[in-house]
Amino acid sequence: MEGEHWAAIAIGSNMGDSRAILQLAVDRLDHTSGIRVKARSPVYQTVAIGPPQSDVFNACVLISTSLDPKTLLDTLLTIEAQFGRVRQERWGPRSLDLDLLLFDDLILNQPNLQIPHPRMTQRAFVLVPLTDIAANWIEPISGKAIAELLQQVDCSGVRKIQD
């Protein structure tokens, strides 16, 4: 792809057949113009953050993309909507959640788009699967590798699901 960039995306679901939704979302990403999935982590199950709700199934993917960050975010939001995502309450249940975590070594702080994702360094459910596929990627704000950031969070609530 011309103008290729690398990005990391977190995928989560806790409504419906979440494991199947995660796989379908990865397939949808890989078949979207300007995006190619290069690596996918295993699936993990974690306790949800926010109001009482079902556990969340999480994974991460690495993609190469010719899209700019805003267009990529818009594409992720469109895919979420195609899977029935409705944003009713902060951190509420979701059929599909696609979070843009990293985009090359870009640091971006706009009202509707922050890269790196502002809370990724505190979330084991993001760092555990991301370490599986991008352990040496340097998070540009901290200057630390993803594997280093993982050592700074409590991973006790993250359980790998056997495929």
Rama region for 104: left / alpha / beta (φ>0; ψ in -120 to 50; rest): left
Residues with catalytic roles: 85, 94, 97, 99
> How far, CA to CA in Å, does 75 sit from each of 9, 71, 97, 143, 155?
12, 6, 12, 28, 30
Rounded Cα distance between 117 and 83, Å, is 22
